[in-house]
Structure 1
Amino acid sequence: MSNDSRFLLSHVARTGVFALMVCLPALLLYCDIHWLTDGVGEWSLVELTQEGFLLASALAFVRLARKRVDDRRFAVLAAGMFACMLLREMDAVFDLLLHGLWKWLAVPVAVASIVYALQDWRAAVSGLVRFLNTRAGTLMTIGLVLLLCYARLIGLTSLWNGLLGESYIRVFKNAIEETTELLGYTFILAASLAHVAQRMRAAATPRVEAAVPEQTLRQL
């Protein structure tokens, strides 16, 4: 098979995976509406999948921290960030025990991961730069921008009130906001798994160093 054919097949495969990633939030929303008939509540497939993806992302970086010493500071910081995001997503569950409990759980996680990373901040920055220089880093950036910027703006109540007026029903806004968040989490999970897998492969590949024979120079 020629290089062009391999490239085209690889591109088609990546496009297919990307299409599945983009379609997943809409498919889960369809299941919530037509199968579970629960809208987009706290126990919907959309919400539970968000939490599952965040948990998987955090665990991926925990594994990286355990396996790669050179990535450990950055990996702990990333795992701590996703753990805090997971606690925030589960706020409704924690509110059953104590209102705002998620904050008291997230603060020590955030502080511990930041302090650990700062103990060797150069290694943490080096791991971050190494990550951002990959396709996974670009995908992670897209996911975070979708989650932290676009989803927040598209979920503004004032926006939907202005659009729908007296016909405003909160479930419409929730559906758009939560599926957009899930799309961001999907990109984040894909980036996390891709980066960790690449670093694991790099660790498993033995380095072959060229042996340079010593030459004895004699001056005549």
Structure 2
Amino acid sequence: MLFLRGFIYLVLISVVAQLISIEGYQHLSAAQYNEHSVTEHLQDFMSFMSCMLFLFVSRRSPVLKIASTLLAALMAMMFVRESDSLLDHYVFDGAWQSVVLLILLCVVIFLWGQFRAIYPSIKEYAKHPSFGTFLAGFVTILGFSRLMGRGSFWEAVMGDAYMRVVKNIVEEGIETLGYTLIFISAVELALAYRRKLHQ
């Protein structure tokens, strides 16, 4: 089972890489890698599914209830942020910020009177193997993808041949990898607690 899971995750990462390259193969130098690309839809899917899996764990594990609820809320906020163009177009400009604030308010209400239980719950999650994978994905999204996606870096490297799409592919591709790692961590956590229920 261990090797099978590893193989499944390898296939998943390979499929994600192939899906990221589809727009490039289809549109060549006209590819944009914007909010309407397959890459962005992958990020939406991964963040939404991760949110649902963390919510599943929060309902099954009293020890991780707070930590997994916080993780679910974080992924919900990231999902909303990734969907900002749709909200701007169909609701109003800057709607994503209002939705994120609403999620934050719900989290504060949920945690009211339980603030001292936050650290022990997070500490318990940190003991789980999926914590490392989650952290790797989170740092990849918020740190590495942003640093590798700096326009100044790509302008310096490419000079007069600078193409914004190359910067976009690198930044969005790395970001999608980060979301995939978080999704894998959420799957691992959900599987672990599903096994506990059957024991």
TM-score scaled by length of structure 2: 0.88
Distance 1:198 1:120 in 2: 25
Q: Does 1:192 align with 2:186?
A: yes
| Aligned partner of residue 177 in structure 2, secondary structure | helix
Distance 1:24 1:130 in 2: 33
Distance 1:192 1:198 in 2: 10
Letter in 2 for 1:17: I
The aligned counterpart of 2:114 is 120
Distance 1:153 1:118, change over 3 A: farther
Q: Does 1:56 align with 2:49?
A: yes
- Residues 147-166 of structure 1 deviation map (CA, whole Å, 9 limit, x = unaligned): 11100100111111111122
Asked whether the 8 Å contact 1:74–1:117 carries over to 2, the reply is no
The aligned counterpart of 1:157 is 151
Q: Does 1:84 align with 2:84?
A: no
The aligned counterpart of 1:20 is 11
Letter in 1 for 2:188: A
- Residues 65-114 of structure 1 deviation map (CA, whole Å, 9 limit, x = unaligned): 22333322222211111100111001111111322110011012023214
- The aligned length equals 196
Distance 2:148 2:13 in 1: 17
The aligned counterpart of 2:21 is 30
Letter in 2 for 1:92: S
The aligned counterpart of 2:67 is 74
Residue ranges of structure 2 left out of the alignment (5+ in a row) = none
State the 1:15 CA deviation: 4.2
Letter in 2 for 1:88: R
- Residues 125-164 of structure 1 deviation map (CA, whole Å, 9 limit, x = unaligned): 2332222112211111111111111001001111111111
Distance 1:201 1:71, change over 3 A: same
- Considering only CA atoms, is the larger Rg found in Structure 1 or Structure 2? 1
- Residues 183-203 of structure 1 deviation map (CA, whole Å, 9 limit, x = unaligned): 000000010111122123223
Distance 2:14 2:112 in 1: 39
Q: Does 1:132 align with 2:129?
A: no
Letter in 1 for 2:172: E
State the 1:14 CA deviation: 4.7
Distance 1:153 1:51 in 2: 21
Asked whether the 8 Å contact 1:77–1:114 carries over to 2, the reply is no
Q: Does 1:44 align with 2:37?
A: yes
Distance 1:117 1:200, change over 3 A: farther
Residue ranges of structure 1 left out of the alignment (5+ in a row) = 1-8, 206-220
| Aligned partner of residue 173 in structure 1, secondary structure | helix
| Aligned partner of residue 63 in structure 2, secondary structure | helix
Q: Once structures 1 and 2 are overlaid, which stretch shifts more, 137-146 or 16-25?
A: 16-25
- Identity percentage over the alignment? 23
Distance 2:94 2:166 in 1: 26
Distance 1:157 1:145 in 2: 20
